[in-house]
Amino acid sequence: MSLVYQISDNLISPLGFTTLSNFDAVVSGSTGLKYYAEGSLGVPEAFCAALIERLLLHEQCHAAGIPQDYTDFDKLIILSATLALRNTGIDSSSDRTVFILSTTKGNISLLAEGFTKGSPDKRLFLWHSAGLLSDFFNNPNKPMVVSNACISGVSAQLVARQLLLSGRFDYAVVVGADLVSKFVVSGFQSFKSLSQQVCRPFDAAREGLNIGEAAGTIVLGRASGVDELPANNLYIAGGSITNDANHISGPSRTAEGLYRAIASAVKTNNHEEPGFICAHGTATPYNDEMEAIALNRVHMQHIPVFSLKAYFGHTLGAAGLIETIIASQALRQSVIPANAGYNECGVTQPVAVNTETKAYACSSFLKTVSGFGGCNAAMLVKKKEVN
């Protein structure tokens, strides 16, 4: 039976410009999050966020031949895709290759420079960024953007998976990114959902999330069966997108949407339990509680779980991708990262939060994400075992 597998990836964050440098940073317990005093980015209240060093970004983009007059967001997505595609041998200009962009706000920071109502800067349109991305690689397919709030990164992978399984394309380059901006920080501050310290997923003292910026790219391909894959290769074994049908910003108190997404994602894998769970774990009081409820409803409360938000912050449209990338690396290297920031259980139902980075061999993981609009997604990634 056909399946969709990971060919290569790239991760750009304050912790580095490659997947491996980011993974090493996570394993060594580093964080990209910093405290920003009142007035930073034009925001009156202090906040904690993870920002990519712009000088380094511009240097790398210049070296990659990316036009200097492109916005930081447009540069970032092209750079990430470039680095992911390097050495894959894939013809990115073929119509059998499709680019899919995952983002929530794209170039939204342009609004702060001033705007005229009714005459938008075309760079504000998300499809414009996707167009610059596919044009850079001379790709003839119409650019495609998945914008599904914080689940976009997983949504985009599942969309890519479906398009590959159907045979319409041979390769999908799924790129996700979002930047920290006054717009986004102000918005989450208005929700009183930010913490000024490094966030503490699932912890009793958690008080909110941090915003981070990042880009992640996963290049996916199709194989006719598991046998065709090289050992240690990872493939998407199942996935599901659902809705809570409850509230546009607060998660369902019964975790209805996430419960259904997880149940559906593992159904196609004979209900086999994943080895570990890379949770959404934003460290807001409500999200983490909801995830604990969902995991208990599917009887996965004993499976080691961690959130990566204390290393990267919440990277919105990039989150589903960069966290899949780190979890995938962990699966390949038989390691499980620590859920940084956790001391004491702060959710009403038990979950097996992994508190230290250590050796851990297993053959699959579950990635969960949830977002505004009541959307949820779960995706099962499996490793081809060595016989």
Partner 1 sequence: MEELILKLKEQIIEVLNLEGMTPEDIDENAPLFGEGLGLDSIDALELIVLMEKNYGIKLQDANQGREIFRSVSCMAEYISKNRKF
Partner 2 sequence: MILVSKYCVMRRHTLIEDGKLIFESNPDLKYSEFLSAVYRNLQLQYPKFFKMDELSKTGFLAAEVLLSGRTDNRNLQNENMPVYMICRSSSLETDENFELTTGAEYFPSPSVFVYTLPNIVLGEIAIKNKLYGENTCFVCEDFANEIVFDYICQGVRSACPNEALVLFIDQYHGVGEVLAVLISEQRNENDGITGFTIEHINELLNKH
373 binds partner 1 (CB under 8 A): no
162 binds partner 2 (CB under 8 A): yes
List the single partner that 250 binds among partner 1, partner 2, none, CB under 5 to 8 Å by kind: partner 1
Our CB check for partner 2 shows the closer of 58 and 250 to be: 250
- Interatomic CA distance for residues 41 and 28, integer angstroms: 29
98 binds partner 2 (CB under 8 A): yes
Helices (H), the chain: 19-27, 54-63, 72-85, 126-136, 152-165, 182-190, 256-267, 285-297, 309-312, 319-333
Q: Least distance in Å: CB of 239 to partner 2?
A: 10
Which of 270, 257, 268, 339 has its CA nearest to residue 297? 257
380 binds partner 2 (CB under 8 A): no
Burial (CB count <10 Å: 0-12, 13-18, 19+), residue 121: middle
Among positions 18, 60, 88, 243, the unique one binding partner 2 when judged by CB under 8 A: 243
Among positions 191, 232, 271, 299, the unique one binding partner 1 when judged by CB under 8 A: 191
191 binds partner 2 (CB under 8 A): yes
Q: Least distance in Å: CB of 202 to partner 2?
A: 25
Which of 36, 32, 67 has its CA nearest to residue 50? 32
Q: Return the structure tokens found at 294.
A: 């969902």
List the single partner that 280 binds among partner 2, partner 1, none, CB under 5 to 8 Å by kind: none
Residue span binding partner 2 (CB under 8 A) among the ranges 104-112, 227-235, 294-302, 334-342 = 104-112
124 binds partner 2 (CB under 8 A): yes
One-letter amino acid identity for 339?
N
- Interatomic CA distance for residues 210 and 193, integer angstroms: 9
190 binds partner 1 (CB under 8 A): yes
Please give the angle made by the CA atoms of 124, 125 and 129, to the nearest 5 degrees.
Answer: 95
238 binds partner 2 (CB under 8 A): no
List the single partner that 320 binds among partner 2, partner 1, none, CB under 5 to 8 Å by kind: none
Residue span binding partner 1 (CB under 8 A) among the ranges 136-144, 236-244, 248-256, 336-344 = 248-256
- Interatomic CA distance for residues 382 and 238, integer angstroms: 9
Among positions 126, 180, 265, 303, the unique one binding partner 2 when judged by CB under 8 A: 126
Burial (CB count <10 Å: 0-12, 13-18, 19+), residue 345: middle
196 binds partner 1 (CB under 8 A): no
Q: Least distance in Å: CB of 189 to partner 2?
A: 6
> Chain-centre distance of CA 352, in angstroms?
22
Among positions 62, 96, 247, 271, the unique one binding partner 1 when judged by CB under 8 A: 247
Span 112-171, contacts to partner 1 by CB under 8 A: none
- Interatomic CA distance for residues 131 and 150, integer angstroms: 22
Among positions 162, 249, 268, 343, the unique one binding partner 1 when judged by CB under 8 A: 249
49 binds partner 2 (CB under 8 A): no
- DSSP assignment of 325-370 equals HHHHHHHHHTEE---TT--SB-SSS--EE--S-EE---SEEEEEEE
Our CB check for partner 2 shows the closer of 31 and 240 to be: 240
Count other C-beta atoms under 10 Å from residue 142's C-beta.
11
Our CB check for partner 2 shows the closer of 29 and 140 to be: 140
DSSP state of 16: B
Count other C-beta atoms under 10 Å from residue 280's C-beta.
33
Binding site for partner 1 (CB under 8 A): 190-192, 247-250
Binding site for partner 2 (CB under 8 A): 42, 44, 98, 104-105, 108, 111-112, 115, 117-118, 120, 124-128, 131, 141-149, 155, 159, 162-163, 166, 168, 182-183, 186-187, 189-191, 240-249, 256-257, 260, 371-375
